Amino acid sequence: MNYLVLGGAGFIGSHVVDVLVAAGHRVRVFERPGCDLENLAGVLGKIELCYGDFSKTDELDEVFAKALEGIDLIIHLVSTVLPASSNIDPQYDIETNLKGTVCLLEQAVKMGVKKVVFASSGGTVYGPASVFPINEESSTEPLSSYGIIKLTSEKYLKLFHHLHGLDYTVLRIANPYGERQKISGAQGAVAVFLGRIKSGEVIEIWGDGKISRDYLYIVDLARAILLACENSSPVKLFNIGSGYPCSLNELITLLEEVSGCRVPVVYKESRACDSPVNYLDCRRARQVLGWRPQYTFREGLQRTWKWVAGA
């Protein structure tokens, strides 16, 4: 199969590219001009690269037409904003994410693409929940523009399937962590906290540390995406996570155990975009995709710490 991976040089995307190449597929990566290709160092001679700016919707028709030539399947992993910052400028989120996604779908139909696999957000599209674990039929009340755009993009995928027969799968992904995630970034508690532990810096937590999330090791996520690409069932929506909650306070304890280091923690004012608890019911993915996580949380953290410590 001929794959186009949008955001293929990123944390998630590079692991997905590795899996696709290992499976024998032909892979084209779409990235922004001048991006860092370090994550793709091991496969650069085996893939094709193309460049474009997802935020420049006036240029995307031509860029996507070239990128999609000969492509069978698209894996859409691009986002130009973070959940916490998306509420600052919702119009930017609409202009650079939603419009870009619709443009992509229009070109996919024109170019004869068979399927799109879309990375949605199990951590933001549901919003505050009252019943746990959260399944795919739970209500969706996102508290951030990021979650709203992800949810709207899902609806456009369904619309294009209805209107044009473009196949798709949506993965509502939990909080991924693992090797290659930025330890100095603004997203990804595991990587950021381990980076602080390595450097001996203070760990900052928004709220009282009781916020609980579902954490998923990147290798398990990449395998789930590959299985979603190969899935031909009429089921189009899947939660992908560990299925278990872990609070930020519990996470810090685990990270200190794994690293053998202790660091001070500072608690800051809570954020309006954060739901108190989020963890996913992933039984549908087990039943339809034949997927379940292969790594325990501790195993994933140990492997991530080994990478961070050696970085």
Q: Using alpha carbons, select from 203, 210, 270, 278 the residue that is nearest to residue 239.
A: 278
Q: Using alpha carbons, select from 170, 148, 144 the residue that is nearest to residue 240.
A: 170
Instruction: Enter the tokens of residue 122.
Output: 């199990």
Instruction: Enter the tokens of residue 300.
Output: 């994933």
What are the residue ranges of helices labelled H in 68-203? 83-86, 90-93, 99-110, 145-164, 189-199
> Token pair 């872990």 is at which residue?
246
Q: Which residues are catalytic?
A: 146
Integer-rounded Cα Rg, in Å, for the chain is 19
Q: H helices then E strands: how many in the chain?
A: 11, 13
Distance (Å, rounded) from C-alpha 140 to C-alpha 163? 24
List, in order, residues 6 or more apart from 149 with CB less than 8 Å away.
86, 93, 94, 97, 98
Please say whether the beta carbons of 211 and 247 come within 8 A: yes
Using DSSP, state whether 184 is helix, strand or coil: coil
Instruction: Enter the tokens of residue 48.
Output: 């094709």
If phi > 0 it is left, if psi is from -120 to 50 it is alpha, else beta; for residue 165 that is left
In angstroms, what CA-CA distances link 182 with 39, 191, 269, 311?
A: 11, 6, 24, 11
Instruction: Enter the tokens of residue 209.
Output: 């540390």
Q: Using alpha carbons, select from 244, 270, 278 the residue that is nearest to residue 130.
A: 278
Instruction: Enter the tokens of residue 46.
Output: 């085996």
